[in-house]
Structure 1
């Protein structure tokens, strides 16, 4: 099978299996040559409440001309945490340029969960992420992020099927061709809803929730999803496999004492 080269544009945590540290081992295990460009260096996962963060925008600005001169290209680019509006502008322009030559752009607009923004994420991030969505072939915000991106009210009790459909449509209007919304309760069921631009298909996939929290599960979902998509599988099937993979990993690690460091992925790659 012809494996695809993918670039991860996401933050790198020194302590904890999140973002690039979570995605790189999974995509590499899938056999895809995986490269990375850190948007920020973070001392540890934000769940510890205290952290140090270095914005790498100036570094990124210097990287792209070098890569262009060396003729580097990628089959796909996956973006995650974006540190500033300036960084969003530089990264989105690079993604747009690469997309014009056939590169697929995946955007995970990492901003918040459970109705609020993550520790250290500012309201300006919402504008930055809208800019990233405008160049995406596929975006997959969680329900909280979808509400922030579209200016819709977050409902803790969840939404109806029609409201979920409406949210997908408003995300498409921002520019992403295909869309998923993760961690959304639809008619009382924890679900992932989606729209596949290629087949003009809407779908809803339900799951059972395990009541524990690990940082990085969205990144794990993203990596498994992308791994299957790059192998030529459909969006709906890839989404289901990503959901099942995350469920298995949470179930196997639900009794871990320090959940703030994320899931220790390397010992479980064979189950994916």
Structure 2
């Protein structure tokens, strides 16, 4: 005799639609980050699943900004996605605000990446020849390690120089 699980306890399949995990910040002003990526990805017919890294009043290229680090909440979001059994066709990273956050993203790629998942790392580290004020030498080293896990990296000239030590 077989048992049938009640419908409310069965895990629905959330993987019928193509999904991209977008690991980036929410920036209030500055035409960047999730504010720009989300509508483009959605227009492509791909579900964009945002894993927030931080909330910024404006991007870090301005002389001052407000920065709230979401590292303490990232693992909680990942646990919930794991419970849902989510699978991603792509993982795209952007602004990462701490060395610990880079480690969380590295673990995420190890768990949710794979042969059917394209990983793109945008090493948002600096501009105009200088690292952003939020970046430390340790973060630069960790970012170089993270880019090694990517299928595609999109550094600007400053970031390419930082990553290569030039």
- Report the counterpart of residue 19 of structure 2 in structure 1: 5
Deviation digits for residues 120-163 of structure 1, max 9, x if unmatched?
333332122112112111112112111111111xxxxxxxxxxx
Residues paired across the two proteins, number? 151
* Matching of residue 17 in structure 1 with residue 31 in structure 2: yes
TM-score of the pair, normalised by structure 1: 0.52
Gaps of 5+ in 1: 153-272
- Identify, as 1 or 2, the structure richer in helix: 1
**Contact between 1:38 and 1:56, CA under 8 Å: does it hold in 2?**
yes
* Deviation of 1:118 (Å): 2.3
TM-score of the pair, normalised by structure 2: 0.83
2:121 to 104, 107, 110: 107
**Contact between 2:88 and 2:113, CA under 8 Å: does it hold in 1?**
no
Q: What SS does structure 2 have at the residue aligned with 1:16? A: coil
- Report the counterpart of residue 50 of structure 1 in structure 2: 64
- Report the counterpart of residue 180 of structure 1 in structure 2: none
Q: What SS does structure 1 have at the residue aligned with 2:143? A: helix
- Report the counterpart of residue 148 of structure 2 in structure 1: 134
- Report the counterpart of residue 170 of structure 1 in structure 2: none
Gaps of 5+ in 2: 1-15
**Contact between 2:91 and 2:113, CA under 8 Å: does it hold in 1?**
no
**Contact between 2:97 and 2:134, CA under 8 Å: does it hold in 1?**
no
Q: Identify if the C-alpha distance between structure 1 residues 15 and 114 changes in structure 2 by more than 3 Å, giving closer, same or farther.
A: closer
- Report the counterpart of residue 76 of structure 1 in structure 2: 90
* Matching of residue 89 in structure 1 with residue 92 in structure 2: no
| Structure 2 Cα separation of the partners of residues 135 and 58 of structure 1 | 23
**Contact between 1:89 and 1:131, CA under 8 Å: does it hold in 2?**
no
